[in-house]
Structure 1
Amino acid sequence: MQIKMSNQVDSSVYADAIAIRRAVFVQEQHIDETLEIDTVTPATWHYVLYDDQKQAVATARVTPSDQWTGHVQRVATLKAARGQGYARQLLQRIAADGLSRGWRQLVLGAQVTAQGFYTQLGYQPQGRPFMEAGLRHQTMILALS
């Protein structure tokens, strides 16, 4: 298992992240591709986890919201690779990297169906659920320490 990251949209890491997101969000969850594949800046870091066969199986991205906060988005694991702890490992790496950047918290909009997963990682719900891309989401925050 290996985690790679890049903030370059012409990198193989970014291409692998997009491929996973298309498979999970566009094909599996039927989210409109124009909503899913959005514009990013070099401040956005794309993480991809590669399994022992060097296949890209999970992804997430993080962008600083402010000097103390990272905004995690687009957490996805290919259907065939779920249940292996890959997303957990990605999010733990993002939290460790955020801590080294001096961030105090991570925030994300969890699909309500995945809220329990994020709670297990220490994220706490904040505010009321909201709709995004036709799916119910919940803002969740992880304090970094």
Structure 2
Amino acid sequence: MSYHVRRIPGAGSLEDAFAVRRAVFIDEQDVDEALEMDGKDEDAVHFVIIDADSDTAAGTARFRVPDDEYGKPERVAVRKEYRGNGLGRRLMALIESEARTQGCQRTRLHAQKQVVEFYRNLGYEVTSDEFEEAGIVHVEMEKPL
């Protein structure tokens, strides 16, 4: 399969990002739509990976800078049928590049407990105890850039 990336703002549409997030978080993980669509999308940079063969949005992630201290990868999601193809790693590489471009010295994210190892393999370290977010157990993780 071949993929290309759409950046928002830029060539991409938020609807592509929302389609992946609905499939993964709302439909698959049963997250309440009001929690998922949190009103912070307009203040973020989004990346969407598109399956070039079908023009389907396969994965997405957003990036915000909530304060001058760090950048925050959020809403990292890959549709079930596209998992295992390196798209999550690619999304995180895009996010970390964006963070550096915006002058961030580190990133901080909330990782679902089930994907902690994924982030550890990318250089993130757990920096908190477990907590619940949207009904799912998470931990905070950080990485210097």
With the length of structure 2 as denominator, give the TM-score of the two structures: 0.91
Partner Cα separation in structure 2 for residue 13 and residue 99 of structure 1 = 23
Partner Cα separation in structure 2 for residue 98 and residue 12 of structure 1 = 19
Partner Cα separation in structure 1 for residue 41 and residue 33 of structure 2 = 19
- 1:83-98 to structure 2, matched below 5 A, reads 83-98=84-99
Q: Secondary structure at the match of 2:97?
A: helix
Corresponding residue number in structure 1 for 2:5: 3
Q: Per-residue CA shift, 1:70-125, capped at 9, x if unaligned?
A: 11111100010000000110100110121122110111100000000000011111
1:37 aligns with 2:47: no
Taking only aligned residues, the RMSD between alpha carbons, in angstroms, comes to 1.6
Structure 1 residue 41 displacement after superposition: 5.5
Q: Give me the identity figure in percent.
A: 35
Corresponding residue number in structure 1 for 2:21: 21
- 1:29-68 to structure 2, matched below 5 A, reads 29-40=29-40, 42-53=42-53, 54-68=55-69
Partner amino acid, structure 2, of 1:48: V
Unaligned runs of 5+ in 2: none
Partner Cα separation in structure 1 for residue 104 and residue 17 of structure 2 = 24
Q: Secondary structure at the match of 2:92?
A: helix
Partner amino acid, structure 2, of 1:107: R
Partner amino acid, structure 2, of 1:46: H
Check the 8 A contact 1:13/1:47 in 2, yes or no.
no
Aligned length: 142
Which shows bigger deviation, 114-123 or 48-57? 48-57
Which shows bigger deviation, 112-121 or 59-68? 59-68
Check the 8 A contact 1:71/1:106 in 2, yes or no.
yes
Structure 1 residue 12 displacement after superposition: 4.9
Check the 8 A contact 2:127/2:141 in 1, yes or no.
yes
